[in-house]
A and B are shown apart, each in its own frame.
Chain A
Amino acid sequence: MSSVTIYVPRDSAALAVGADDVAEALQAECTRRGVELNLVRNGSRGMFWLEPLVEVATPQGRIAYGPVTPDDIVSLFDAGLLTGSAHPLCHGVTDHIPYLAKQERLTFARMGITDPLSIADYEAHEGFAGLRAALALKPEAIVQQVLDSGLRGRGGAAFPTGIKWKTVAAAQADQKYIVCNADEGDSGTFSDRMTMEGDPFMLIEGMTIAALATNATIGYVYIRSEYPDAVATMGEAVQRATAAGFLGDNILGSGRTFTLHVRKAAGAYVCGEETAMLESLEGKRGIVRAKPPLPALEGLFGKPTVINNVISYASVPLIMSRGANFYRDYGMGRSRGTLPMQLAGNIKHGGLVEKAFGVTLRELMFDFGGGSATGRPIKTAQVGGPLGTYLPESQWDLPMDYEAYAAVGAVVGHGGIVVHDDTANLSKLARYAMEFCAIESCGKCTPCRIGSTRGVEVIDKIMAPPSTKHNKPQQVQLLRDLCDTMVNGSLCAMGGMTPYPVLSALNHFPQDFGLANPDRQAA
C-alpha cells in the first residue's frame, strides 16, 4: 500500500471555508484508492484566499493546492495530487509562492509548517531552544537580552517590553504574575489567533521565559470568547506542555515553577485595555483603572504583573535562542525586528505578512495584497484597528514604523490593515467609529461614555439633508471640539483614540461629509 502525507489546516479561518469537509473527502478518496494517508492538521500558512490550502509532501518539497473544495478531490487525485502533479488549483512548491517567499518570517517561521499540538514537531523546528537558553541565564541577563533586542509591545502601544520586565523583576512581592493579553478585538487583526491556534507552544515558551526573568510563578492567558478554537487549542497545549515538563513545578528539572491558566473573556472590546482586562481576570466588570499605579507594580490581585500581547511574548523565544542582535538587525529607527501584519477587508490576497519594519502600505496592499477584492480602486485603508486612522493615498508610501506613523497622527497598532474600495463612505465609517465606542465604552469616564453618543448625533446632523437647516460648518466645529475633549479627557485609549478614525475621515475625505473643500488643512 502506498502512503502519502497531506496537510490540511485546522486554523479557524480554514475551517470557516470548509477545511474539515475537505479533510474528510481526502480521507475517503485515499481509502477508496487504497492509499495510506498521513493527514496532518497544520496551522495556516496565512494565505487565506487559498484556503482550504491542501499541501502534499513530495521529494521536491510541499506542493500547494487551493482553494480546494470537496468537489475538487476526485479531479485532483486523477491529475496526480499524490505526487504533486499539475492541476488548475496547483501553486507549485508552497515556499516558492511569492507571497511567502517575499516575507521575513521570524515569529511566524513555523506557522503552517508544523502540527500545532506536537511538542516533537515544535522542538524539531527550534522550539523550546529559547527556554533552554534562558534557563542557563540569570533573570537580569534575560531582561537585558529583551532590552537589547529593541522589542516593543506588539499589542499596539509599542512600549519597550524589556523595560516592563525590568520593572516587574525589581518589584518586591510574595507573588508576581505573567498575563497575556489575547483579547485581540481589533477588526482586521488575527495574528494572535493564528499564533494560539497554529503555534501555541511559542506563546507558552515566551510567557515562561518572562516568568523566569521576573520571578513570577503564575500566568494567565486571557483569550476573547469570539475565539473558541484558540481557547481550546491553548488549553490543550498548556496540558501537554505541563505533562512534558515545560510548565509546572520543576521546569525541565531546573527547580523553577510556572503554572499557566487559560481564561476565556466574554465579549467586551474594552477588556483589551490592560487594566480592564485585570478587572475581568479578577472576576469583575471590565472597568478601566486609573494609572498609576502601573500594573507592573500593582497589577493582577494587586501584585506586580507583566502584561504583554501574544506577539510580544511569541517574539521572545527567538530572541533568546538567536540572540538580541539577530532580532535587532531587522527593522528601522526605533522600530526593531519584524511585525506580523494582517491584510484584511476588501483585499484580493488577504492574509498574514510578516516583514521587517519599513515596508510601506502601498507595497503591502498591492505587491502582497494584489489590490482590492472587488477589483475597484482602493480608496483608503484603516491601519491599527478600529481606533486607527484612515490613510489617504498620500500616506501610502510612509514606512511602517511607529515613529513615522505617529508623525502624521496615525498608528501602526497591532498591524491590522483594513482595505476599503472607492464605494466606501467615510462619513459612515466615522459615524460607526463613534457608535462602536458608545457600544463598547466601559462607562467610567464621561468623555468616552457620553462623548461617543454625542458624536453619533453630531455626525448625523452634519449628514442631514439641507432641509433640516443644521448649520453644517457649526456642526463640523462641534465635532472637532468633541474629539478634542475625548482625546484629552478620556481615561484610556477607547475614548482617547476613537477620534483618530473620525478626524482622519473628516480631514482626508471631506467630500464624503458633503464639504466641498477641506474645512481646514489636514493635520
Chain B
Amino acid sequence: MNTNPASVTQAVLARHADEPGALLPILHEVQDALGHIPRDVVPQIAEGLNLSRAEVHGVVTYYHHFRAEAPGKHVVQVCRAESCQAMGADALMAHAEHALGCHTHGGHGSTSADGQYTLNPVYCLGLCASSPAIVVDDKLHARMTPARFDKLIAKLGETA
C-alpha cells in the first residue's frame, strides 16, 4: 500500500477533481490511507481545491473524526453518551484509562506513552439498546464489562 503522503493525497485529489464540496470525502480517504492527516498535506489539498490553507486546517480541526497526529497502534473508543452512562460507561472509561495508560478530558483522547493505544471518547455508536458500547480498531463491541474489556485488550497484545 502506498503510504507516501504526497502521492496518496495527489491520487485522492485526482479522484474527486470534479466533485462539488469534496473536502470531507478527500479528508476521509487521506486519513483512511495514512491513519491521520499530516500537516504537510494541508497546503497540497488547499491548492488542489483552490481553498486557503486556513480553510482546510479549519475543517481538519473542527471535526472530531479527523486527526492531525498519528494514532497509537490500536485505537479504542469508549462511548460516553447518556445511554451508555446509564449502564456504567463512566466506570468503564475509568477502567480503560487505567488499563491502557491513557487519559481523556472532555471530548479529547490521548495516546499511551509507549504508542500502543489511543483512547478516545465517542458520543454514541447507535448501539444504545446494548449499552455500554466500545470500538476497538474499527470493530464494534456491545454489552461491555471491565472484565470483557481486559480480555479484548489481552487478545490485541497477542497479535501485536
Contacts and interface: CB of A to CB of B under 8 A. Distances in A.
Contacts of B131: 344-346, 350
Contact of A286 (B62, B66, B107, B124): B62
B128 A416 contact: yes
A302 to B, nearest CB: 11
A345 B23 contact: no
A344 B128 contact: yes
Contacts of A347: 129
A48 B140 CA distance: 15
Contacts of B85: 429, 432
Interface stretch (B7-15, B76-84, B95-103): B76-84
A198 to B, nearest CB: 12
Given A264-B25, A266-B65, A350-B129, A438 B106 contact: yes
Interface string B93-118: 00000000000001100000000000
A342 B130 CA distance: 12
A282 B142 CA distance: 34
Interface centre among B49, B138, B140 (most CB of A within 10 A): B140
Contacts of A438: 106
Contact of B129 (A49, A227, A283): A49
Contacts of B23: 283-284
Contact of B130 (A184, A285, A301, A350): A350
B122 A226 contact: yes
Nearest to B63: A266
Interface residues of A, number: 60
Interface string B57-79: 01100111110000000000000
A301 B21 CA distance: 9
B42 interface: no
B149 to A, nearest CB: 14
Instruction: State which size class the interface on B falls in.
Output: 35 or more
A419 interface: yes
Contacts of B86: 345-346, 418-421, 424
Contact of A16 (B81, B123, B133): B133
Contacts of A286: 62-63
A269 interface: yes
A12 B65 contact: no
B123 A17 contact: no
27 contacts: A12-B127, A13-B130, A16-B127, A16-B140, A48-B129, A187-B81, A187-B83, A187-B84, A189-B128, A228-B138, A264-B28, A265-B65, A266-B28, A267-B63, A286-B62, A344-B83, A344-B128, A344-B129, A344-B131, A345-B83, A345-B86, A346-B86, A382-B82, A386-B81, A416-B128, A432-B82, A440-B123
Interface of B: 20-25, 27-28, 49, 55, 58-59, 62-66, 81-87, 106-107, 122-131, 133, 138, 140-143
Interface of A: 12-13, 15-17, 48-49, 51, 184-190, 193, 225-228, 263-269, 280-286, 301, 342-347, 350-352, 373, 382, 386, 416, 418-421, 424, 429, 432, 435-436, 438-440
Given A16-B142, A343-B129, A440-B107, 7 more contacts: A187-B81, A227-B126, A286-B62, A345-B87, A418-B128, A438-B106, A439-B123
